[in-house]
Chain A
């Protein structure tokens, strides 16, 4: 992500007709917006940013999808997208929420998973318990020491997308990004 002091390239520096370049620029700006609850992840890493369209009248439409139905970060993300894009010279921006296809943890990029782990949040496990399995049998790796001897403290954590786990080796409690 560019530092706050760096000046964004104004969109008007691209010829109006060059839609592809303007769109690519808009996408790179949109991809700098982060999840307010997990500031190391951009909405691109998360898979929340779906696509961008430039209408003939110059309106830039940005499509985003919620991770969870009640995710309170969506309003904030929409607002930050508008601000970032306006600052980059896109004066007509419309943010639209789409539900289909539904977001799953598979939309998260590899880079996103790596950044999550570095930040101390265990990324969604690939060794998941079955849908109906009770008393939590997912295999979750401790983001600090890598041990798989971990256990779930609470199914519902500090945000809708996280559960609270603890490592039995290093004893650290940690957040786990839930599978969807």
Chain B
């Protein structure tokens, strides 16, 4: 029977896996809305955004497999690592909550990913640069769609304003991790492969604040920030998500459509 894999996390493999995990976990979260969104257009929008992210994850996992050189596929990484093996941001694994919370989580991530992938198009790693060129176009749509909703909800009714303000309050502490870098990533920054995330922080805050202002929401000050996802220390929510994502493969290893 197949069992949990141990990945040889060289800096490039780890770097690629972190981005792949962000995309897969957020894509999975969005897909949980399928059939449950408040209206059909949003049901399709959330599923479409999920599809973009899962597509990005597939390209990134495939590349992580090539970089590792052990013959592993996208499925091996997705299905055969446990919670502690996952390297995604804590933000993306947070529960969907209500529609406002899902939209705000997507808005915070998309604004980051939009800047990040645009910067990554200049990476010296050709594959990552190619994935970036594809992803940045998709993220532009996620930014626009979620920004419009943040404005509608924030500048909407008393109820919608209260809900998105609560989401902002609840999720802000997960945004510090977006810009976290460790020694392994700094090595890749020096090699011209990775982006120095600290260079994106001011632009991210400006872009987010401009929309929050229009939405009559107050941009929080940075205080205590949650972290740990990049090293496999997750919130209690990821394990439950993985149990669903991995259930079929763990019951019938190697099952294919």
Selecting from B8-16, B141-149, B172-180, B221-229, the interface stretch reads B141-149
State the main secondary structure of chain B at its contact with A. Answer: helix
Tell me the residues in window 14-70 of chain A with beta carbons closer than 8 Å to chain B beta carbons. Answer: 66, 68-70
Q: A134-B148, A134-B151 are in contact. Are A155 and B130 (CB under 8 A)?
A: no
Q: A68-B138, A69-B138, A154-B44 are in contact. Are A100 and B51 (CB under 8 A)?
A: no
Q: How large is the interface on B (under 10, 10 to 19, 20 to 34, 35 or more residues)?
A: 20 to 34
Interface string of B38-53 (1 = CB under 8 A from A): 0001001101110111
- A156–B130 contact, CB under 8 A? no
Interface string of B16-54 (1 = CB under 8 A from A): 000000000000000000000000010011011101111
State the main secondary structure of chain A at its contact with B. Answer: loop
- A102–B151 contact, CB under 8 A? no
29 example contacts (A-B, Cβ-Cβ < 8 A) are as follows: A66-B55, A68-B51, A68-B134, A69-B55, A69-B59, A69-B131, A69-B134, A69-B138, A70-B51, A99-B133, A100-B127, A102-B130, A102-B134, A103-B134, A131-B140, A132-B143, A133-B144, A134-B151, A135-B148, A155-B145, A156-B41, A156-B44, A156-B48, A157-B44, A158-B44, A160-B48, A160-B51, A164-B41, A180-B137
Q: Which residues of B contact A (CB under 8 A)?
A: 41, 44-45, 47-49, 51-56, 58-59, 126-127, 129-131, 133-135, 137-138, 140-141, 143-145, 147-148, 151
4 residue pairs, one from A and one from B, having the closest CB atoms = A70-B55, A69-B55, A100-B130, A102-B133
Q: Which residues of A contact B (CB under 8 A)?
A: 66, 68-72, 98-104, 131-135, 153-158, 160, 164, 178, 180
